[in-house]
């Protein structure tokens, strides 16, 4: 596995490859990230993983400074998983970067409380696509809104990159794997599986209860347990518009705070 540390080096090393699959990450890797590499290996021959903690997608008072940095272990995991290259640029990658605006879809769900987050995401992902020129890029479906926004970026720009979604990977107790799980207190870690359990409850009852009741009862359920929902949505998987009733396709999506830690999760009914 070769480590690439600059834009110039990346363009030189990768210029003759026509079968690149990009796996963008911010490091602090877990099995969920490794599943993205495994997915990439099913799609193409040359796997390029990236590690860059992007300050553009962190808002004021968010956890950029405390975001875990575990580069040595990350590199070991990526090599073991079969990544051929790791692009690990310095913050110089941001110099002269083309600032991009996320589509209106970004104003829903997570975008309501993180108004500049997705602008930062599409700006750095656009830069990665410019530098690496992948034929495919793999994104986890835990951040389903981000997945839709990146698909929009690829379709409306000159990038010849197909965006592939990879299924959520969960802990044994159902909690969606996330780098932020490590920031949970021991008590909140015990509470965290209630998120996925409740999403499953909504899935099981979506055909016989109104969406309004499902959401209201679930928010009350979380509040009684000391979890603070930022949003809980039953929405169209393509537009993220709220659904009044279930007709076969839906995204059940949540953002919730356990103490100071914000977690997201979803179930896709398709």
Would you please indicate which residues are annotated as catalytic (active-site) residues? Answer: 33
CA–CA gap between residue 177 and residue 172 (Å, rounded): 10
Which residues are bridge partners to 26 per DSSP? none
Burial class (CB in 10 A: 0-12, 13-18, 19+), 41: middle
């Amino acid at each position: 596995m070769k480590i690439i540390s600059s834009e110039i080096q990346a363009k030189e090393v990768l210029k003759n490859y026509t079968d690149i699959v990009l796996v963008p990450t911010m490091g602090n890797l877990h099995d969920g990230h490794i599943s993205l590499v495994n997915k990439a290996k099913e799609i193409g021959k040359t796997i390029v993983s990236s590690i860059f903690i992007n300050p553009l997608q962190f808002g004021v008072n968010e956890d950029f400074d405390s975001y875990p940095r575990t580069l040595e272990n990350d590199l070991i995991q990526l090599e073991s998983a079969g990544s051929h290259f790791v692009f690990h640029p310095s913050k110089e990658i941001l110099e002269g970067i083309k600032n991009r605006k996320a589509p209106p879809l970004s104003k829903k769900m997570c975008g309501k409380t993180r108004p500049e987050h997705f602008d930062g995401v599409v700006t750095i992902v656009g830069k990665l696509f410019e530098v690496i020129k992948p034929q495919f890029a793999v994104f986890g479906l835990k951040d389903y809104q981000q997945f839709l926004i990146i698909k929009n970026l690829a379709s409306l720009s000159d990038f010849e990159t197909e965006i592939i979604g990879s299924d959520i990977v969960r802990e044994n107790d159902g909690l969606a794997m996330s780098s932020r799980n490590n920031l949970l207190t021991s008590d909140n870690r015990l509470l965290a599986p209630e998120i996925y359990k409740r999403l499953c409850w909504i899935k099981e009852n979506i055909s016989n209860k109104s969406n309004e009741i499902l959401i209201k009862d679930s928010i009350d359920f979380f509040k009684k347990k000391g979890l603070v929902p930022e949003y809980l949505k039953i929405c169209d998987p393509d537009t993220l518009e709220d659904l009044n009733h279930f007709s076969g396709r839906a995204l059940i999506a949540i953002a919730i705070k356990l103490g100071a830690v914000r977690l997201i999760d979803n179930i896709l009914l398709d």
